[in-house]
Structure 1
Amino acid sequence: MKAPQNTDTTETPAAAQQDNPADPILRRLATRAMGLTGADIERIVREARLKARRGKRSINYKDIEGGIRGNRPPVPYDLRWRFAFHEAGHAVAHHALDLGPVRGLNIDTGEGAYNLIGFHTFGTNTRTWFENVLTVLMAGRAAENLVLKRVSSSSGGGDDSDLARATRIAFDMERTLGFGTEHPLLYRPHRDPGTILDRDAELAARVHARLEAALDRAAAILRRRRPTFHALAKALFDAQAMDENAVLQILRDGDPPP
């Protein structure tokens, strides 16, 4: 069986839209459905309609939410706490660095936890921005180590994992983005960073140093905002899925005074 791994989804915020009464319900459903495929959603809605038809009534929100929850096996207690701390770590670091909105968090699946994080359009592509993104990517691992005193494979294990994406960014900073500590003006792309890192020990050390610095920075942010971090993890553990408004309320409550 494949080990549970953290799956993080990033997005660039779309143009602002006017709210309507259905928005909170749709956001909650979207948060609950994070990690499901289009085919999964289609089947769940079809089954919910059938259930409503048998009851001689219209389909409602609870039918669909129940279908989503029923599609997933219960997450073991300890694993749910690990997921909650991991995702809360990402969210707190993201908010502290003012990178953009946290659209939702979900730990309601035994196959992994999910977050939907947006990025502001300003400030991108600078050295500081890339270092901030590295910090957010490493924050889940930092959170596990800070609270649970040991890390799991939730940060790695796949090409879309936290460690994979962080390694790629750090690699590109050294070789293609002009931020390298050695020959920064040389553009040296490669489709398979792992191959290059295995052959070039000095480059691997520089990339790893960037990841260590991001990990330390993430841990420092979580220690400074420990009450907010723990409050968000507890709320996520209890709810298992939180939309943007629920997450933001806790993050804003923990913001330092101006």
Structure 2
Amino acid sequence: MSRMQDNTKSKYADLKPLAVLAAGMTGADIERLVRELRGRCRRQGVPLTWTALQKALLTGSNLPHSSVALPIAVHEIGHAIAYEELGVGTVETVRIGGQHGGETRTRLHVDVVQSEQGAMKLIGCLLAGRVAEMLIFGSALIGAGGADDSDLARATELTLKLETAFGTGEDMPLLYRPPANTAETLNYNPVLAAHVNSRLEVAETIARDLLANFPMLLAKLAARLAEQVVLEGEELRREIAAAKAGN
């Protein structure tokens, strides 16, 4: 019985690198990729190999241009370190490529973000990618904004709710006034916009004060991510622990 269990564990361990590369893809995406690869190998008269599947997964990752791969990697590592060190979430994988250029998959600690302090830490995590770029390069790419599901949009929306709907606002906190449209609400209410921006600056400072302790780790893990495309959360946590221990 134990031998069968050991064999099963070994089999899953062998598949783990491919599973990590496939993180973020749907079952349908993976099925289509394997089907297309199998057909291509059949037409070429070559076997379907591990290397071919690995290459197909990397190609299907929609990798960023080499000129921006490292900044994107720095951005995602910034998110990842913030989630772990602020206690807001447990990172599962960090990757570059995909629809948004990069992604940090995280299991959010819902209990932590139930307080105003926890929500501010979450906003800090959302801004940590841009902060990491600023710390390493002195400037940031525009990818943190530009879309309704971007880091800046999500951070702004959550901050606005703290001011208008969660009972934590600076002005009339007991008044429940959830915004129908974030942009219009802020554009036509400069006082509220100033409160929201002030909170965002505080959250940005939370992220900056944290990441300023890890410049070498940021650079090291970003270079590794840019090369490997995907990092596992376990690896990230080991490196953070080593950095904090002074190794």
Same fold (TM over 0.5): yes
Tell me, in whole angstroms, the C-alpha distance in 2 between the residues paired with 1:187 and 1:73. Answer: 43
When structure 1 is superposed on structure 2, of 62-71 and 176-185 the one drifting more is 62-71
Shift of 1:132: 0.6
Is contact 1:27–1:243 with CA below 8 Å preserved after alignment? no
Tell me, in whole angstroms, the C-alpha distance in 1 between the residues paired with 2:96 and 2:235. Answer: 15
Secondary structure of residue in 1 paired with 2:93 = strand
Tell me, in whole angstroms, the C-alpha distance in 2 between the residues paired with 1:200 and 1:237. Answer: 42
Is contact 1:91–1:102 with CA below 8 Å preserved after alignment? yes
Shift of 1:221: 0.9
TM-score by length of 1: 0.81
Aligned counterpart, 1:33: 22
Shift of 1:101: 1.4
Is contact 2:165–2:176 with CA below 8 Å preserved after alignment? yes
Rg larger in structure:
2
Query: In the superposition, relative to structure 1, how do residues 208 and 66 fare at CA in structure 2: closer, same or farther (>3 Å)?
Result: same
**1:48-70 deviations in whole A, cap 9, x for unaligned?**
3335657676x565443221223
Between the two proteins, the alignment pairs up a number of residues equal to: 238
TM-score by length of 2: 0.85
Q: Which amino acid is 2:147 matched to?
A: G
Q: Give the one of 94, 97, 114 matched to 2:83.
A: 94
Specify which structure has the bigger relative contact order, considering alpha-carbon pairs within 8 angstroms and separated by 6 or more residues: 1
Gaps of 5+ in 1: 1-18
Tell me, in whole angstroms, the C-alpha distance in 1 between the residues paired with 2:160 and 2:77. Answer: 26
Gaps of 5+ in 2: 1-7
Tell me, in whole angstroms, the C-alpha distance in 2 between the residues paired with 1:256 and 1:128. Answer: 27
Tell me, in whole angstroms, the C-alpha distance in 1 between the residues paired with 2:173 and 2:46. Answer: 68
Asked if 1:134 is matched to 2:123, the reply is: yes
Query: In the superposition, relative to structure 1, how do residues 171 and 73 fare at CA in structure 2: closer, same or farther (>3 Å)?
Result: closer
Q: Give the one of 202, 208, 233 matched to 2:197.
A: 208
Is contact 1:32–1:108 with CA below 8 Å preserved after alignment? no
Superposition pairs of residues 81-120 of structure 1, within 5 angstroms: 81-109=70-98, 112-120=101-109
When structure 1 is superposed on structure 2, of 32-41 and 137-146 the one drifting more is 32-41
Secondary structure of residue in 2 paired with 1:124 = helix
Secondary structure of residue in 2 paired with 1:64 = helix
